[in-house]
Amino acid sequence: MNFIILTSLAVALGYAATATFGAAMMPPPPEILRRLASLTMTGELFVEALHTCVRGLCGILLANLLGIGLGLCAGLIRPMDRLFRPLLTALNACPPVVWISLAMVWMGTGGGVPVFVVAAATLPPVFLSTVEGIQAIDPRLIAMSRLYRVPFLVRLKGLTIPSAFPFWRTAFAHTAAAAWKVATVAEFLGSADGIGARIYWSYHRLEMADLYAWTLAIVGFGIIIDTGLISRLHSKRTPVFPKRGRR
């Protein structure tokens, strides 16, 4: 019922915008939907979405490999935490447009720009969350493990990683949702293909039906990613220590 109401409201707003700004600037909703259907039937929509998704996933993978690795080291070795934390905190405050500009200066335009920008934008939250998870371990558990001389790998597997995992999962859910948007913006400014690039060319050529069709597409893909992956990650609750049955 809510979907029908929201859809009807969106269509009504679309017709109102057409009446206000004219069909040249704001095509009526049926024309936009026809263009979106055409992009879908020809497969063009999925090809461009695949470019964007692959770049976003590569950036997230790179950020997690570096962020988790550095976060584990910094969480276990306090001098490394004091060394890396100010740098990663500063990088976390850096807006994506700065990374886009630097990537275009260093690498020119192309598919590498979105990958680099997504990795640079999502690395700091992954690192900081991993460190926070490790530092949240009860010091008494650490002291007990050292007292009984528990091997390092056993402590890492049974104590350190389970403690850091819920913190990392929250950061991953947040950065995965943001990576889709960051990759699109990077493509808009520094790539020749992908949904962001198609939005740029639609705007540049004033192909308004295409512009709104690609906008609807990216909103739709964002909703799918959010409801299919991100909301499930947020809804899960993983205990630090697994429950054991009575002996």
Q: What is the DSSP string of 47-83?
A: HHHHHHHHHHHHHHHHHHHHHHHHHHHHHH-HHHHHH
Q: What are phi and psi of 166, to 5 degrees?
A: -60, -35
Predicted TM-score (pTM) above 0.85: no
Instruction: Return the pLDDT at 3.
Output: 66
Instruction: Return the pLDDT at 166.
Output: 87
DSSP state of 169: H
pLDDT tens-digit map of 143-158: 888 778 888 888 888 8
Instruction: Return the pLDDT at 211.
Output: 92
Which of the listed CATH numbers 3.30.70.590, 2.60.120.260, 3.50.50.60, 1.10.3720.10 matches domain 45-235? 1.10.3720.10
Reduced to 3 DSSP states, what percent helix, strand and coil does the chain have, rounded to the nearest 5? Answer: 80, 0, 20
Ranges under pLDDT 70 in the chain = 1-3, 228-247
Q: Whose CA is closest to 184, among 55, 95, 60?
A: 55
pLDDT tens-digit map of 113-128: 999 999 999 999 999 9
Instruction: Return the pLDDT at 233.
Output: 60
Instruction: Return the pLDDT at 19.
Output: 85
Instruction: Return the pLDDT at 231.
Output: 61
d(CA 126, CA 174): 10
d(CA 119, CA 116): 5
Instruction: Return the pLDDT at 247.
Output: 38
Burial of 8: CB neighbours in 10 Å, binned 0-12, 13-18, 19+: exposed
d(CA 226, CA 178): 10
Torsion, Cα of 188, 104, 68, 76 (10° steps): -140
